[in-house]
């Protein structure tokens, strides 16, 4: 049975996406390689967006905001 590779961390995916962008900007790739590299970049963007959505959801939970992204209002503590 084949073991599934763990997805890259946000930072790893972002660094790899940076490499993809530089490779495409150089313009030295063939059309087929450019398309494959572009497709890889799209997948990395999707992974980053998914990880950001998960992080945002955690932050909302930790800060006590509800599902509608409305904050739970609490008075500031007085000094």
Q: Which H or E run contains 3?
A: none
Digit-coded pLDDT (tens) for 1-18: 556 688 899 999 999 999
- Quick one: which H or E segment has residue 10? helix 10-26
pLDDT tens for residues 26-75? 999 999 999 999 999 999 999 999 999 999 888 877 777 655 656 666 66
pTM for the complete prediction? 0.72
Among 37, 47, 45, CA closest to 8: 47
């Amino acid at each position: 049975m084949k073991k599934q590779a763990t997805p890259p961390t946000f930072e790893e995916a972002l660094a790899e996406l940076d490499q993809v962008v530089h490779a495409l900007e150089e313009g030295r790739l063939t059309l087929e390689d450019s398309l494959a590299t572009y497709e890889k970049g799209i997948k990395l963007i999707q992974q980053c967006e998914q990880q950001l959505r998960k992080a945002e959801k955690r932050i909302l939970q930790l800060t006590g905001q509800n599902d509608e992204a409305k904050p739970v209002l609490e008075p500031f503590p007085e000094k």
